[in-house]
Amino acid sequence: MKLLLNLPQFKMSETKLNPPILISNNDDGIRCERYIERQYPQVPRGMRHKFFRTKKIAVFREGKRLKIEKSLTLHKRDELKIFFQPSEFGKKKDTKKYINFDAVLKNPKLKKTKILFEDEHCFIVDKPAGVAVHPGSGIKFGHSLIDYCVALMRNKDPDAPEPKLVHRLDKDTSGLVMIAKNDGFLRKIINLLQSGNIQKIYKTLVKGQLKKDSGTITEKIARREERANGGGSKYTKISINAEKGKDSITHYTVEKYFKHLDASLIEVLLETGRMHQIRIHFASNHHPLAGDQIYGDFKWNRELQKEWKLKRQALHAFSLQFIHPETGKKIYVESPIPEEITSIYR
């Protein structure tokens, strides 16, 4: 008998133990490949790709089978079906076993994190300097801000979805970070962020007296991966590059100039969010941030460390303001500048 449709044929044994999965609000907006990876981490990456190619993964929306692609975005009430047996690849890995939540919650650095806003959709936390937002680059699992948020959620509900960072801060920058509790909120808040509808204000102490009390820096910023000494591990190098750089816009207002320090306290509003944007924009204009170990004035940094014990860049994510995409309410959260910075100019 001739088949009218060129669809893969599956044995009954391949489907009988795999009931359809209904995509929930928490997973609204997640990529199909990411969802499969998270649901079936025991399945090797190469096999997951093969299952996409051979149509052993299917997604139905309102009864209609969609064209399956790894990049397909899943939405609430989509129905996902798999035509393979995850059990053939061993037991599902429980990532919760790899992090000792009690130890994370008792970590002295992480314990300094303060929750300034929380609802069923997100956290907004005050991150202390010295805490990385996620593992990597020498930061082990269980020692980052996102691990701390996972521990907070899973300590209350072992089956809580994995929280996600909405934006990031450098390890040695303090202040506000937003963390989404589900993928549905993450997708909506990222849209707000990318459309410029989240106001992020920073405070920083820079060297010297600026010529203007307020202004905008628009130099383009480029980044590239390099290897130290021609080999070894990679690192990211950021630089001003008019030809290859991306548009980068930093608005600033001088709050006060301290003559005895020859330094200025600056309020910064970011219109774009490039890596190290504030640090490199002010450094390129001969006003490096106090304590900046990459783009700063190293002689001045040594003086600040000796006199004021400043061991990191004087940069603080001060406030966040946005319209909550789920409730429609105006949210404003503020974090005071840490004493390790204010003590320098008080």
Residue 234 is encoded by which pair of tokens?
């990679």
Catalytic residues: 170
For residue 333, give the 3-state DSSP assignment: strand
The one-letter code for the residue type at 99 is I
Nearest to 33 by CA among 81, 7, 61, 68: 68
Contact of 318 with 269, CB cutoff 8 Å: no
The one-letter code for the residue type at 57 is I
Which residue has 């489907």 as its token pair? 15
Distance from first CA to last CA of the chain, Å, rounded?
A: 87
Which residue has 């390890």 as its token pair? 171
Contact of 162 with 152, CB cutoff 8 Å: no
For residues 2 and 46, what is the distance between their CA atoms, to the nearest angstrom?
A: 32
